[in-house]
Structure 1
Amino acid sequence: MVDRSLTSPVAMSPAERARALDAMASTELDVLVIGAGVVGAGAALDAVTRGLSVGLVEARDYASGTSSRSSKLVHGGLRYLKQLNFSLVFEALRERSLILETLAPHLAKPVEFVYPLERPGLDRAWVGAGVGVYDVLGAGRGVPQHHRHLGKRATLRRFPGAKRGAVRGGVSFYEGQLDDARHTMMLARTAASHGALVASSARVVDFLREDGRIVGALVHDLESGRHIPVRAKRTVNAAGPWTDEIQQMLGGSSDFRIRTSKGVHIVVPRDRIDSETGLITETEKSLLFVIPCPWSDNHWVIGTTDTDWDHDLAHPAATRADIDYILAQVNRLLEQPIDHDDIVGVYAGLRPLLAGASEQTSALSREHTVATPVPGLVIVAGGKYTTYRVMAKDAIDAAVADLPGRVAKSCTERVPLVGADGYRELSFSHARLADEFGVDLATVEHLLGRYGSAVTELREIIAAQPELGAPLGNSRYLRAEIVYAVTHEGALHLDDILTRRTRLSVETGDRGVLVAAEVARLVAPYLGWDEERVEREIETYRVRVEAELRANEQPDDRSADVVRLSAPDSRGIAGAPEGDRVSA
């Protein structure tokens, strides 16, 4: 077996981004991937590890769309068992195992859930049957096996905060969890470390065409203003919710379309719900999860909703009705209910579902499809986060099917992400790492769960600048982590750091506003910001937070969308000229 581990991960710095764009402008790639969500980043990694020359461009930030706004789970999908979609569940459980055990053990962990039973006879039968199928399909798949039926007393030991008289038993089982934004960014960084050219803030504005074929794309660098024609033998559209927009750029129809479903989550302090495990329950519309926060021991993530969304794709907004719904559903289970005052964070994401005959998005399939609407272009759409690797493989299989010469088969099932190689060995050295970093053991655990073995790069930054070993404000993040987000993880704006490289935008009541100035001034030297630019970034972030909070008070999607879009976009404040449009 070929050793696909890495010893020298590429640092996705501003200089590396510029080099990647220059290289894309000066050569013909084998494959250009549009969209750096989890599927696009996975496709870039799949292609480059087959020995192909690859470019990956993203209009915004890595994982800035759906792939940073999920339920933070890698799971088989109990809801798909109810649809009798056993093949999708089996595929997801297999991929869950790979993520937990091989690809990203530093980022993904197994977590116990309890399904509280309110109707013990009926609920125990179908829930037990469902997770029993999990046991069979997922045997040996990365988590402790065999669900357990719990009586009322045992359920209350695991879930002391349960509403008395309502919860009358439970079923215990395991799923996997991860911080989706970091995982997707690490996929892109791993692709870059294997030789892919990757760039965020690089928006595709048109396709390049020759003799009826797609031969690349015209890319607008949103940071410099220049337009770059990027030529490629094959182009893969992995734009998720933006798939239909990219198809419209072709000027033709398609055999499928995307229907976007909005999923809203809230974040509350851990002490507001007294439970030793995560919780899952069925609602009249879907499933509701209470999930131990994957990036913080001090919070719960609660969601989700499942409703049509027909507004702005970049900034889906949660409404008062969405939040009220989540609170009502979770409070069915709680002796001490939670309310709006307990919420420290809210986020909304869009599921790119393949449109079907059903009028309800919750009934649409999470199967994916791969299509070639015109020669030279492959579109991959649908699917679910957990099965991103399969989607990526299928897309690249289609892209290279008629490329001249022999192209290697996909090998990503054995390609660990940056930080995975050596992680387990390093995780036995907590005491030594705590001494080297000058922090407590809890902070070491925090760092290993975010960076894995790449934590040694962070150690080098602190060794060179010891003052960066201090905490950021009152947070648990080190100041070095903020600098590292720019020098190694591709962050270009304040929003990238506070929302995706860290989760300060949803884990503090002020949504990260109180540390925004400190963060901006920490990274200014690495991004070339003067004081005027620093102030613009701070103000843009502050206004964004205010708009989101006001949107959360609106009664419906339309009014929430109008309020959210009143805030400026961080990708629009670079101050670069638009530049002359290059003819495609």
Structure 2
Amino acid sequence: MATRKPRTAAVHEQTETEVEAAVTGRMGPLEREESWRRLETETFDVVIIGGGVVGVGAALDAATRGLRVALVEARDLASGTSSRSSKLFHGGLRYLEQLEFGLVREALRERELMLNRIAPHLVKPVAFLYPLTKRVWERPYTAAGLFLYDSMGGRRSVPGQKHLTRAGALRMVPALKRDALIGGIRYFDAQADDARHTMMVGRTAAHYGAVVRTSTQVIEFLREADRVSGVRVRDVEDGRETDVRAHAVINATGVWTDELQRLAGSRGRFRVRASKGVHIVVPRDRIVSESGMILRTEKSVLFVIPWRNHWIVGTTDTDWNLDLAHPAATRKDIDYILEHVNSVLATPLTHEDIEGVYAGLRPLLAGEDESTSKLSREHAVARVSPGLVAIAGGKYTTYRVMGADAVDAASVDVPGRIQPSITDKVPLVGADGYHALVNQADQLATRYGLHPYRVRHLLDRYGSLVHEVLGLTRDNAELLKPVPGSPDYLQVEVLYAVSHEGALHLEDVLTRRTRISIEYPHRGVDSAEAVARLIATVHGWDEEQIKREVEVYIARVEAERESQTQPSDQAADGVRSAAPEARPQLIEPVS
């Protein structure tokens, strides 16, 4: 077999902006402009389309193999599925019953990597109670499943299962009805803020030299004879267009996979089916419990997940064939969640208790006449034509494996020897030094004039980047004050989201860099103007732009609230889709 020539196209002289940004993978306005220059002038080994967790995972994988990589995303990092999950790193207990042992083992191994090496600042253990309702057989049956679950991932950094009597389970979760269970088993999984984690994977890819650029939409595929040779992209903020040359292109667009395949003019090797999952967020005091819960439903499972001062309750699992960018929750979806959780709660939840609602779409591999809850969560990778690879399916927890598989598939079209994946050994930015800083939280609090609780909160969002965040307050102590209307967040976090984390619009900050849009009953409206004015100090917005950003965001919230009163998907979609886009030059995919 002929030996490939060494790659030379990737060698270039780094600019001063690149070197400075690479220190922590900063993605601010200067880096954004520099990334456009690179898209225009360089030839990449791999261009990745899609800024969800699989896309950024593939970008990190490619960059750490020494490849020249660019990632483009039409909206914001994690603006689709990857900000609207159940926010769990888990093996998936229900997949054991479906005999998907390989998937569970793989996911549990990834969970351990995240907790111990890759993202200990972002991924944390979380306890769940599994209530038992059937005598004789259910406890040994469930215990056997949990034994497998506890042992399949190899090293275990979370406690094993603990069996509880009815009285013990009720002490752990006083919110339960006494007749809702005969006993219980506590087990552990892990959780993370999905949008923040995705963004940090993207920043880590940038740290290792990848171009990571949002608001950059693929509008055409470039071809040389029968092979894909790159993409034409449009900056949806200012309308600029350029061709981006690459040896290989990876389509990692999740539920948009089929649309991108049509744009490429290639026949896909698989189809993607969108399944809508809805979650509600309620205050922590509405469910008195020391633990999360996992409840069986007639179709799947329902999670009650602790989320700082809140509970996340979900999810639904229904087909969605409407607007992929803005899946809408209906009154029926919310009633379904309330009905099932209230069947076990002594004090029922009501619509008035709900602080936030979000709907996301799972990109499932299409099956024949199967309900979405039974479709496999395995992922698929295909080289659909020379120079073009598509990846879809899978689950959030296995994003790293998916990214590696996508790069492996694309390597056929990349000249030179490709190194093996090493992302199982690469911590995300903010991970190094995190544990030492946790031990120093009191000293950090004194240094910056903050309460230690606030410092710990910041450490669990930024890890060892906390000095970079708080350094922005050196000349402006006002930034240490809470965001008006959203006291869980500091004003400096808004500034940092724009100067270092790639946020371009008000909705990027309120819905993804923070979770203000789902954690407060006002859903960000009461904070919108103050946050927009902070953003304006970095992006140079004038009064007219500030007003537009606030109006667009408020219209989005009003549309979401209204859609959540509608009886059907079609009605909810009609209301939600009518809201204006924050990125007005976005082009809808060609169907």
The Cα shift of 1:330 comes to 0.6
- For the Cα contact (< 8 Å) 2:170–2:178, is it kept in 1? no
- For the Cα contact (< 8 Å) 2:25–2:205, is it kept in 1? no
Q: What is the distance in 2 between the residues matched to 1:7 and 1:22?
A: 16
Moved more, 62-71 or 16-25: 16-25
The Cα shift of 1:442 comes to 1.3
Q: How many residues align?
A: 566
Q: What is the distance in 1 between the residues matched to 2:113 and 2:455?
A: 25
Give the AA of the match of 1:534. I
Q: What is the distance in 1 between the residues matched to 2:214 and 2:268?
A: 27
Counterpart selection for 1:417 from 398, 408, 428: 428
What do the CA deviations read for 1:529-554 (whole angstroms, capped 9, x no partner)?
Answer: 11000000000000100000000000
Unaligned stretches of 5+ residues in structure 2: 1-20
- For the Cα contact (< 8 Å) 1:96–1:141, is it kept in 2? no
The Cα shift of 1:7 comes to 8.9
- For the Cα contact (< 8 Å) 2:22–2:209, is it kept in 1? no
Q: What is the distance in 2 between the residues matched to 1:79 and 1:9?
A: 38
Q: Alignment identity in percent?
A: 57
The Cα shift of 1:573 comes to 7.3
Counterpart selection for 1:126 from 141, 156, 168: 141
Helix, strand or coil: the match of 1:25? helix
Matching of residue 312 in structure 1 with residue 323 in structure 2: yes
Match of 1:498 in 2: 510
What do the CA deviations read for 1:254-281 (whole angstroms, capped 9, x no partner)?
Answer: 2210000000000000000011001001
**TM-score under structure 2 length normalisation:** 0.94
The Cα shift of 1:139 comes to 4.1
Q: What is the distance in 1 between the residues matched to 2:117 and 2:216?
A: 31
Match of 1:540 in 2: 552
Matching of residue 216 in structure 1 with residue 237 in structure 2: no
Counterpart selection for 1:327 from 338, 345, 370: 338
- For the Cα contact (< 8 Å) 2:219–2:234, is it kept in 1? yes
**TM-score under structure 1 length normalisation:** 0.95
Match of 1:384 in 2: 395
Give the AA of the match of 1:274. V
What do the CA deviations read for 1:109-159 (whole angstroms, capped 9, x no partner)?
Answer: 011110112224343233222212112213423322x21221111101100
1:228-247 superposed matches below 5 A: 228-247=242-261
Matching of residue 565 in structure 1 with residue 577 in structure 2: yes
- For the Cα contact (< 8 Å) 1:76–1:89, is it kept in 2? yes
Match of 2:490 in 1: 478
Give the AA of the match of 1:157. R
- For the Cα contact (< 8 Å) 2:43–2:245, is it kept in 1? yes
Q: What is the distance in 2 between the residues matched to 1:340 and 1:573?
A: 36
- For the Cα contact (< 8 Å) 1:93–1:141, is it kept in 2? no
Helix, strand or coil: the match of 1:192? helix
Moved more, 469-478 or 198-207: 469-478
Q: What is the distance in 1 between the residues matched to 2:133 and 2:551?
A: 48
Unaligned stretches of 5+ residues in structure 1: 1-5, 579-584
Q: What is the distance in 2 between the residues matched to 1:536 and 1:120?
A: 60
1:178-577 superposed matches below 5 A: 178-293=192-307, 297-474=308-485, 475-572=487-584
- For the Cα contact (< 8 Å) 2:248–2:413, is it kept in 1? no
Q: What is the distance in 2 between the residues matched to 1:14 and 1:314?
A: 25
Give the AA of the match of 1:98. L
Q: What is the distance in 1 between the residues matched to 2:214 and 2:139?
A: 48
Counterpart selection for 2:55 from 15, 20, 40: 40
What do the CA deviations read for 1:448-490 (whole angstroms, capped 9, x no partner)?
Answer: 0100000010121011221111111141211000000000000
Helix, strand or coil: the match of 1:562? helix
Give the AA of the match of 2:350. D
- For the Cα contact (< 8 Å) 1:94–1:141, is it kept in 2? no
Q: What is the distance in 1 between the residues matched to 2:311 and 2:377?
A: 25
What do the CA deviations read for 1:375-433 (whole angstroms, capped 9, x no partner)?
Answer: 00111111000000000000001111353221211100011101001111111011111
Q: What is the distance in 2 between the residues matched to 1:573 and 1:219?
A: 12
What is the alpha-carbon root mean square deviation over aligned residues? 1.3
Match of 2:5 in 1: none
Helix, strand or coil: the match of 1:570? coil
Moved more, 17-26 or 495-504: 17-26
- For the Cα contact (< 8 Å) 1:40–1:238, is it kept in 2? yes
- For the Cα contact (< 8 Å) 1:60–1:571, is it kept in 2? yes
Q: What is the distance in 2 between the residues matched to 1:413 and 1:529?
A: 41
Gap change, CA 1:156 and 1:115, over 3 Å in 2 = same
Q: What is the distance in 2 between the residues matched to 1:27 and 1:253?
A: 29
The Cα shift of 1:211 comes to 0.8
